[in-house]
Amino acid sequence: MDALEQFDQFFVTCTGNWTTERTYHYLSQAEVERSHTEFVIEPVTSDRKAQVLTDNQYVVEADLERLPGYHLEFFTVSEHGERVNQALNMLFVPQQSQDVIVVGDYLRDRAYEEARPIVSQFRFNAESQELLMTTTYTRVVSVDSITLVNPKLRIRKILNYHRPEPGESLRELALVGFGVEQKTD
């Protein structure tokens, strides 16, 4: 199986109901917070794929079936009692595949940090089964990693950096998050 086929299989395997326990470290406030999330991952329909492309001013492709993605719904409760419900559609547009690596654009109709459509970048390593997504928001740059350990277990790592000046590298972390995600169906 080549890298693109493994990339597609990654999405098939991740479809279903999941729960996660996460720990967030807010470095500037020296605070640690835990949360519990229940989420549902479904294949994204062709209509939603076309809408995500349109929302992000992307050319709508004739063969939408070749683009993997999700419809994601989640409900999070923090240990402080804060509750977040969200639903969004995401689409991955591979642009290059070489050996075990697939890279491209990651599009959403609604971003996590900012409620708007957004285009990010992804890198998938077929060997380690890690999907790395990098999103530049207004104030932070989020580097989010999902590693599929087996069909029922994923490890999540989130690094949010203060957004550097143009041309400067990512250096100053604002938040570090870790999660263990288990499939429940």
The gap from C-alpha 116 to its chain's centroid, in whole angstroms, comes to: 15
Is residue 124 within 8 A of residue 131, CB to CB? The reply is: yes
Tokens of 36: 């519990």
> What average pLDDT does the structure give for the chain?
94
Average pLDDT for residues 149-169, to the nearest whole number? 96
- The tens digit of pLDDT for each residue in 79-95 reads 999 999 999 999 999 99
pLDDT at 110: 86
Q: Which of 92, 55, 85 is nearest to 70 (CA)?
A: 92
Structural domain count of the chain: 1
Phi, psi angles (nearest 5°) of residue 166: -55, 135
The span from the CA of 116 to the CA of 29, in Å, is 27
Task: Check which CATH number belongs to the domain holding 122 and give it.
Answer: 2.40.128.20
Give pLDDT tens digits for 124-150.
999 999 999 999 999 999 999 999 999
pLDDT, tens digit (0-9, with 9 covering 90-100), for 48-82: 999 999 999 998 877 888 899 999 999 999 999 99
Domain that includes residue 90, residue range? 3-183
- Please tell me which residue, 110 or 184, carries the higher pLDDT value: 184
> How far is residue 185's CA from residue 183's CA, in Å, rounded to a whole number?
6
Q: What is the pTM of this model?
A: 0.94
